[in-house]
Structure 1
Amino acid sequence: MWKKNLFYIGIIVSASGLIGPPLALAAGLAFGLSTVHTFHGESRCLSKFLLQAAVVCLGFGMNLKEVVHAGASGFMYTAISITFALCLGVALGKLLQVGKTQSLLISFGTAICGGSAIAAMGPVLNANEEEMAVSLGTVFVLNSVALLLFPLIGHLMNFSQTQFGLWSALAIHDTSSVVGAGAKYGPTALAVGTTVKLARALWIVPLAIATAMLKKSKAKVAWPWFILYFCFAAVAASYLPRYMPQMVPLFSALNRLGRAALTVVLFLIGTGITRETLKEVGVRPMVQGITLWIVVASLSLWAIHVGWISL
């Protein structure tokens, strides 16, 4: 009972605004690594729903022109980044003798959008539960490290908010940690990071369909509808206040609600990383994931620093 109470207290404190996203993640990690809770499946489902709802609510604080500009510019960069990450990930998997399915799942998770990409590609690749668990564990661990580490690196590099938002979108696995790192860095970093990351997430659908055709799989590919709802929210926030000024307080409240929900999501993600999860991952998949992530993050960091990639 005390574990469940502690879990609920963590959710309440995260939602209250008393702690920020990085601290919420750290609290979740402390809970997950120090105790065993039997409702991690429910918390994972809740975190997925809350993440999508939080992204939509954050759209009410976005400017449509910024969203369109960042999305259009970022689409080309994400295409190059995804192609490179997939090719390098497959090569590393073969070199380290990681199972083919695990290697592909880790590569897709790093290249596109972490757990969402793995969840979408798992049925297409006929992955079993163990392969899914190992791949998700690898990505979630690195994803948590990125949220805590990236803002520090961004400040050391003297990155502007636009530069940091672009880098986090290209180099951090999950949307939740991109949004969390962007929120920590500043409002412009949040807007750029979220938009470019969602443009990157759109690649799930064509790549899943192409993989299904190659594998002759009949698995159903889920379309990430929350991205469309995010765009609708940005349209509403950009144009409705001109004709209905009374909507401004509502949009501001929804935006704050999205930030609070995101903090809860990061706490839930942290609780899902347990000692058992780390044991399941194993050495080779983790080495593949770490190496691939470091190369992608370092190259994108360097390209942004020298001005090769910009918005």
Structure 2
Amino acid sequence: MCSQASNQQKQMKSHLLGKWISGIAFTFFIALLGFLLAQVPGFDRVGQLACAIIIAIMYRQFFGYPEVLRSGITFSSKILLRLAIILYGLKLNMHTVFQDGLGLLVRDAVVILFAIVVMIWLGKAFKADKNISLLLGVGTGVCGAAAIAAVAPIMKTKDEDTAISVGIIALMGTVFAIGYTLIEPFLPLTSTDYGIWSGLSLHELAHVAIAAEPAGEDALAMALLAKLGRVFLLVPLCFILIYWMKYKNKGNQTHHTIAFPWFLLGFILMSLLGSYVLGDTIPIPENTLENISAATTWILTAAMVGLGLNISLKDLRSKALKPLLAITLTSFFLSVMAYFMI
């Protein structure tokens, strides 16, 4: 009897492990479909992340949520999301920020504060969802989807709200990046000033690169430097949000305590490792960091697929329109303000 029970337990564990692995594999499969869709002309401007989220949302609407794979999908949307944020730290070169970008940090801080305040204000004016408005404010001010993914656990937002916010930020960043490239030849700016403007005002690193690259290497270098300063400020912003959430819920006995986001320490550690150790103290092949960056994109995409599968189009229609209008205006005002900050 004991042997039979033991075998049944082993079979059950094996069955659960299989569903867990299948769920993770499913999110990476949709990430692959997003990658392939992003190769199609037109969709290449949208990017793999947004394409994968769109496919995940459409799958949910036509086939429903794959309950049998829930454990693996949840792992992707929770654990892999944090892993992606940790690896994202390698994109931040602290040495460059401290050496050349200190003068930009003040302007970066102003940009972040402006984006959050204006987005929340417009969100209230349009009666948009408060959590989505704050997520979009952080994403607009800091570094798009990565910033949203970092602050969402702190704010304890719903998965569907996080996914909606990521989808909107990807769309808006793409539209503005393309718009920048179209108007760049007509602006009375040097390539360096144009790069700073792009880095100060656009949403994600990818959007900054898209907009600045046509203006030359100097423009791209300054754009990325300005953008890295905003990424650097993500960590203190997260701790400010932790304090704010605790203060906001002080005395609320029904609210859970705010868990410390340990993955942020991993983000800082990876930033220090990439800035001062890898390549200097420890020689590594030139393409290693590029491969890690590519892996980070895939992991983040799979995580966002897990979030996208939680979205119903009914919620999307009811929740996304007002925040979309608010972020459009916020992004426009931010672009104008950043232009005059150069």
Same fold (TM over 0.5): yes
With normalisation by structure 2, the TM-score equals: 0.64
Counterpart position of 2:183: 157
Counterpart position of 1:234: 275
* One-letter amino acid of the structure 2 residue matched with residue 155 of structure 1: T
| Correspondences of 1:1-311 after superposition (within 5 Å) | 8-9=28-29, 22-25=46-49, 27-36=51-60, 38=66, 39-45=72-78, 47-59=80-92, 62=93, 64=95, 66-69=96-99, 71-98=101-128, 104=134, 107-108=137-138, 110-112=140-142, 113-122=147-156, 132-158=158-184, 160=191, 163-164=194-195, 167=198, 170-172=201-203, 178-184=204-210, 186=213, 188=221, 191-192=224-225, 195-202=228-235, 203-216=237-250, 218-222=257-261, 224-225=264-265, 226-237=267-278, 239-240=280-281, 247=283, 250=284, 252-265=286-299, 267-268=301-302, 271=305, 272-273=307-308, 276-283=311-318, 285-305=319-339, 308-310=340-342
Pick the structure with greater CA Rg: 2
Q: 1:158-204 CA distances to partner (integer Å, 9 max, x unpaired)?
A: 285874576456442xxxxx233345555637742652232231211
Q: 1:251-277 CA distances to partner (integer Å, 9 max, x unpaired)?
A: 523311233124314542663435934
Counterpart position of 2:217: none
* Residues 101, 229 of structure 2: 8 Å contact kept: yes
Inter-partner Cα distance in structure 2 for 1:48 and 1:228: 17
Counterpart position of 1:128: none
* Greater relative contact order (CA < 8 Å, ≥ 6 in sequence): 1
Inter-partner Cα distance in structure 2 for 1:3 and 1:238: 36
Equivalent position SS for 2:308:
coil
Equivalent position SS for 1:276:
coil
Inter-partner Cα distance in structure 2 for 1:111 and 1:44: 23
Alpha-carbon offset, residue 293 of structure 1? 1.9
Q: 1:130-151 CA distances to partner (integer Å, 9 max, x unpaired)?
A: x624531331121221353343
* Residues 63, 237 of structure 1: 8 Å contact kept: no
With normalisation by structure 1, the TM-score equals: 0.69
Which structure 1 residue ranges, 5 or more long, are not aligned? 123-130, 173-177
Alpha-carbon offset, residue 228 of structure 1? 4.2
* One-letter amino acid of the structure 2 residue matched with residue 279 of structure 1: K
Give the total of aligned pairs.
Answer: 283
Q: Give the direction of change, closer, same or farther, for the CA distance of 1:157–1:182 in structure 2 (3 Å limit).
A: same
Alpha-carbon offset, residue 80 of structure 1? 2.1
Q: 1:257-311 CA distances to partner (integer Å, 9 max, x unpaired)?
A: 233124314542663435934432443x424422332233212322344xx334x
Alpha-carbon offset, residue 12 of structure 1? 6.2
Identity score, percent = 13
